[in-house]
Chains A and B, each alone.
Chain A
Amino acid sequence: MKAYRTLKLLNRNEIDTIHNASLDILEKVGMKVPNETCLRLFADAGADVDYKTQVVKAPSSLIVECVKKIPKRYEVRPYDRKKAMTVNDGKLKGGMTVQYFINDYFKKERREGTTDDVLRAIAVGDSDDMDHISHVTDFVYPCDEPLPVRDIYGWKLGWTYAKKPIFAVYMFSINSVRYILEMAKVVAGGEEELRQRKIIDYNLESTSPLSFSSHALEICLEFSRYNLPLSNSPMVMAGASGPVTLAGSLALCNAEVLMAAALIYLMNPNIPYGYAGIPYIMDMRTTLCSFGAPEQVLFSLARIQLARYYGFAAKAEVGANDPVLEDIDPGDSSLPDFQGGFEKGVRSAMALAAGAESVGGFGMVGADQGVSLDQLVIDNEMMSYMTRVRKGFEINEETLALDLIKEIGIGGSFLGARHTLRHLRQEHWFPKIFNRDRWETWRMKGGKDTLDRAHVQLEKILKDHYPPEPMLDKDQIERLDCIYREAKRALIPKK
């Protein structure tokens, strides 16, 4: 725990300044809340509500009170109870991203995902080889299923096969959400069990600057009926949907995160909320919303401090709608090359030093450009490395080994000492795919780079774990099938 929570970018005064700026934005400008029920909730709580423009101006006292009281810690209990996970418990976590495209680093091509891609991803992410992935996703959309029900099918796949908690699958509309929550009840074992086990969450993703979308609010209200975790990760783009200056975009992003917390608390005071917002730099030449820019490192450090300031686990959006994650979007590089490794490495190392609880976006290619299972294997390796750094080292009589140093004396060797054997595997980290061969040995083994070696490991994992076995019993599977059939009948337009 040594190399942890020590790095601080902002001083207390600067954090207060950002916080007050956010409150000022919410009080003077407010946010657009396009939903009658939500507007009424704000009005009843004493906010200034304009029903015509659907704009809510919230007094600072209301925001502060709600943010203070909203639950910030919760446990997710997936099918395999051993893989349960507590958000905000200080333990390091890593999670997968979910994207539209799947990329092939070797051919440098990408295509839409399929059901089979989802199954392969779950098989890999769920495996014990991916020991730093605490929660999985579908990784890609199963585009072989019809669009209006694709999200429902995605959750069905995830719940059927994933042993680890499954997050961030995506939800398209209130129509599909109703079917997804019906499935959730079957998977959890009932309505009350769903409330307890929290196997699904939703991220509002307000549209910056300062607007919620009506479909997200509808989904949010539906989730609030079951005490399910919610979060909001606006993607303020500095210079486009927020001020070009970092401080301004940070204050704006923070305002939207706080407003969502207040709204959710007013809906239902038992809903856990995650601090999940980070602004982005938009590259003004390509319009790419950058994940790897140096400014993202700064945003990330500031955001972690803000989250802690409010008592959250400094969770963060990571390119996917994942509220339990902490930091680290991947970089902007299209390949796992030097740029990619550098961006990810710098960002994650600094975030962890600042006290990030969780790292995410595993398997992502570039900035939201798709996914790669090879990348997932590489990211797990990076996380394994980071975990070792975060662990630090103990200083005590046994680890100082003064007696041993005296015993071995001048010119001796520690190789054969029992002390070496006893501590080696805890003290030293061993890579699975990073290279530690000398040049000639490396050449002899085929001169493989990180990607090549990751691919070898990936093939092995797939051989061992694919196709995945269903985790649900026959009755549950049948009930999910039935709900899905109903959804298809209701939601797919007749030709």
Chain B
Amino acid sequence: MKGQSTDVRAILEGIAQAVVDLDEGEIIRSVKKAIDMKISPLEVIENGLAKGLREVGRRFEVGQYFLPELVTAANLMKTGTDMLNPYIGRESTRRTCMPRVLMGTVKGDIHDIGKNIVSILLEANGFEVIDLGFDVPTDIIVENVKEHAPDIVGLSALLTVTLEEMRNVVDALKKAGLRERVKVMIGGAPTSQRFADEIGADAYGIDANDAVEKAKALMVAKGGGVK
């Protein structure tokens, strides 16, 4: 933020604080103002919206904020980025420096609360998340790995019945020749480190916070790392 005017810094601080306060009106007003002031949209996201979301994530971790606050903050971040998106295209620098995670709850499973929390916390911690949602067929996951070239694929399942789908995804990635290019991370109630080892996944997250730590570690192992 070197060389920024006090005005710009105040606006960004205000946006971050508005996310923490879950104040939708203030976010819309301040983001509008930031657009008018021609502050770089990426700057607004990184040092405004995402910074606020990181603080919300921290408060969630220490038990000060609860899940509804976390989800609301993530929705508000989206409100902000939706306003900013039309202005990002003109810049050459997309958020390419960020590690990219492809998230999905595997086929047959529609229980995605846990996966959503992981997605939010990953975003708050400097990852770009592409969320494929729930009940995602294996071939869709493979296609998206081809298209988006993520660093990590995160798979979740709650039902014991759908565990086998995780193995199918890993196998399908191998078959498509993509397995070397991407790290695979799994999580969900019936999963375990033992199961991760068995199906050849690279990491297992015990809970959302652990998943973020594991994702960071995977990036370090990949030689990338998170800023």
Contact = CB atoms under 8 A, between A and B. Distances in A.
B190 A100 contact: yes
Taking each of A112, A244, A285, which has the highest tally of chain B beta carbons within 10 Å of its own beta carbon? Answer: A285
B67 A112 contact: no
Given A239-B68, A285-B66, A172 B190 contact: no
A147 to B, nearest CB: 5
B160 A141 contact: yes
Contacts of A244: 68
B114 A287 contact: yes
A207 B135 CA distance: 13
Nearest to B67: A284
A282 B161 CA distance: 23
Contact of A287 (B108, B113, B161, B163): B113
Contact of B163 (A147, A211, A213, A286): A147
Contacts of A285: 60, 63, 66-67
Contacts of B189: 100, 368
Contacts of A239: 67-68
Interface of B: 60, 63, 66-68, 108, 110-111, 113-114, 117, 160-161, 163-164, 189-190, 192, 194, 207
Of all A-B residue pairs in the complex, the 8 with the closest CB atoms, nearest first, are A284-B66, A284-B67, A172-B161, A100-B190, A147-B164, A285-B63, A285-B66, A100-B160
A114 interface: no
Given A112-B194, A287-B67, A240 B113 contact: yes
Nearest to B208: A287
Contacts, number: 39
Contacts of A282: 67, 113
Nearest to A286: B207
A240 to B, nearest CB: 6
Interface in A143-181: 147-148, 170, 172-173
Contacts of A141: 160
27 contacts: A100-B160, A112-B194, A141-B160, A147-B163, A147-B164, A148-B164, A170-B160, A172-B160, A173-B161, A207-B110, A211-B110, A213-B110, A215-B108, A239-B67, A239-B68, A240-B67, A240-B113, A282-B67, A284-B66, A284-B68, A285-B60, A285-B67, A286-B207, A287-B113, A287-B114, A287-B117, A368-B189
Contacts of B160: 100, 141, 170, 172
Nearest to A110: B192
B143 to A, nearest CB: 22
A434 B163 CA distance: 40
Contacts of A207: 110-111
A287 B189 CA distance: 11
B188 to A, nearest CB: 11
Contacts of A170: 160
Contacts of B108: 215
Contacts of B63: 285
Contacts of A173: 161
Contacts of A215: 108
A310 B44 CA distance: 57
Interface in A192-219: 207, 211, 213, 215
A211 to B, nearest CB: 8
Interface in A275-293: 282, 284-287
A112 B197 CA distance: 14
A380 to B, nearest CB: 27
B193 to A, nearest CB: 11
Contacts of B207: 286
A160 B138 CA distance: 37
Contacts of B164: 147-148
Given A239-B67, A285-B67, 4 more contacts: A100-B189, A111-B194, A147-B163, A240-B113
Contacts of A240: 67, 113
A236 to B, nearest CB: 13
A123 B29 CA distance: 68
